Chain A
């Protein structure tokens, strides 16, 4: 597999995304919500409760908020990958691409990069703003900057990429079975289920979102990623695309 060729496919998609407002919105909305909304909630809750939000409870709350970065990372690629593949199906532009000397794997990797890179950039930028915002509103209570910390670092550098990859691969499989971007997004919403399950499990203390907990979750999701990789590469084959895709 030639990375340079996969990059060509990705760069072609980036050029298309530049002209697609919907994709821009899907990339920036979630990071903005996380980075602006959560610090605002903390600030507002702190002012309203007048001490009812004790410093001892803040770390748990902040860890819970942090997990929304992962949920966002799973959400953003749905729109991008759905458009990137279903959009090509609608425009019938995959056939000429498949007739070039690119391999199926190079095209698939290019599509994955096109969904993965903007998501990571957006979520990492959102996470940076989130950290600064949260520190600004919690410093007074905690007496120290809660972020950055190792737990959040592992979450960002391990769990977020795993979640993004899962979402991209899942989108490829969904895209091979539907004919329009809206259907792809509707089915894509199912990707939230495992992440919401993890979030709820952490809230009711079944699992802990500390470093060990995050690494275990990442390992399980990585195993699912591997299974999804095989399913998506089986779906993303020239003959399948031209003869069996809807």
Chain B
């Protein structure tokens, strides 16, 4: 499968400072791609290179087959992408409607297309009633939603979103996340910069962890499994020899027994834990809780970021 966004050894230097180092990645059509990394990791710089806003220092990158380094292609790329920058960048002295309308005109949308798209997105985001209100008077959440609508006005092939829920209150962040999930249902390709792990896990099909260099890439599940160290912790009402004998026959790794708690290493909790629970129950035990602890996406992220620091 050819990726809609492909980079190969993409590098950006500002003088002696290496902002993005040797990044190779692929985002497929219809995929929501999460780009995770701490502040200063190079996420925004990568997005700016892919949106043809700044030049690359070395390496290659293509968006929908167009080369980001080619001047003619860069115009074509900017036609088929939408960008929600980290600062929403609305024209505060224009109404919500005018903010969208001018961008529709820039993208050569017809009058009817513009009217239809503006109505559709403002309705979806709950802003239609505020269409004639100046954008400068909007709350942060409303501004973010309007910025997303602006980026979608021309129905782009790829939507780049740079930390769209940063600095939003939980309710606004939830609305924005739900909207991104709506777009995901419509098979819109989304390149999502975030340092919100929970958000990435809930929304993204694929995640890359960046800290100047690309540290890992894969599905959220794959990344969780990539770092060993997950444990299953089972709490019982009480333990006895019959239960411990039954468990020992399962050849669990690093099995430990303390008070009424059993813990052991687990690679695939979904397929392994039920066997242990079944053995406990057949041995007459009563299971109180079953927890998987250790390597969540957060663990993976922190491990990789700390290793690279």
Residues of A bordering B, CB below 8 Å: 5, 8, 11-12, 15-16, 19-20, 88, 91-103, 238-239, 242-243
Contacts and interface: CB of A to CB of B under 8 A. Distances in A.
A88 B85 CA distance: 14
Given A15-B98, A96-B85, A239 B54 contact: yes
A93 B106 contact: no
A103 B83 contact: no
Contacts of B106: 5, 8, 97, 100-102
Nearest to B102: A12
B75 interface: yes
A239 B55 contact: yes
Contacts, number: 76
Contacts of A99: 51, 53, 78, 81, 83, 85
SS class of chain A's interface: helix, strand, loop or mixed?
A: helix
Nearest to A103: B75
Contact of A101 (B53, B75, B134, B150): B75
Nearest to B88: A92
Interface residues of B, number: 32
B53 A16 contact: no
A16 B53 CA distance: 25
A91 B90 CA distance: 7
Closest A-B pairs by Cβ, 7 of them: A92-B87, A99-B83, A93-B89, A101-B78, A92-B89, A101-B79, A16-B93
A42 B105 CA distance: 50
Interface in B66-89: 75-76, 78-79, 81, 83, 85, 87-89
Interface string B85-119: 10111111110001000110111000000000000
Contacts of A96: 83, 85, 89, 103, 147, 150-151
Given A5-B106, A99-B51, A93 B91 contact: yes
Contact of A12 (B48, B88, B94): B94
B93 A19 contact: yes
Contacts of B14: 243
Contacts of B102: 8, 11-12, 15
A242 B48 contact: yes
Given A95-B83, A103-B75, 7 more contacts: A95-B89, A96-B103, A97-B89, A99-B78, A99-B81, A242-B48, A243-B14
